[in-house]
Structure 1
């Protein structure tokens, strides 16, 4: 996962946490739900990037094994 992706995903997650907390404090269900959706989106993106990294690592390991 690139550093820009990590920063973007973490920013989205923190924004979601802030929105959720603000929504809870103000009894604003819409804002709370938006915050939860932002967090879920960031988590899904992080999982996708992690899977992509795992596949890339496996590909690199296979190339190294073939070269030996």
Structure 2
């Protein structure tokens, strides 16, 4: 996995955590859910990259 992918996944996860935190602080359930979704996408991408790396 390239460094760019790692950075991109980490940035997407951080963005998701920020959205989730802001959503909780403002009682905005939609924003909180978007944060969860962003984190889940980043984690799924990371897992896929880990699988690829395991076969190299």
TM-score calculated relative to the size of structure 1:
0.82
Which structure is larger by alpha-carbon Rg, 1 or 2?
1
Give the count of matched residue pairs.
Answer: 56
- Structure 1's unaligned 5+ residue stretches are 57-68
* Aligned-pair Cα RMSD in Å: 0.3
**Structure 1 SS opposite 2:55:** helix
Structure 1 runs of 4+ with >4 Å offset: none
Q: What TM-score results when the alignment is normalised by the length of structure 2?
A: 0.99
Q: Which has the higher contact order (CA 8 A, sep 6+)?
A: 2
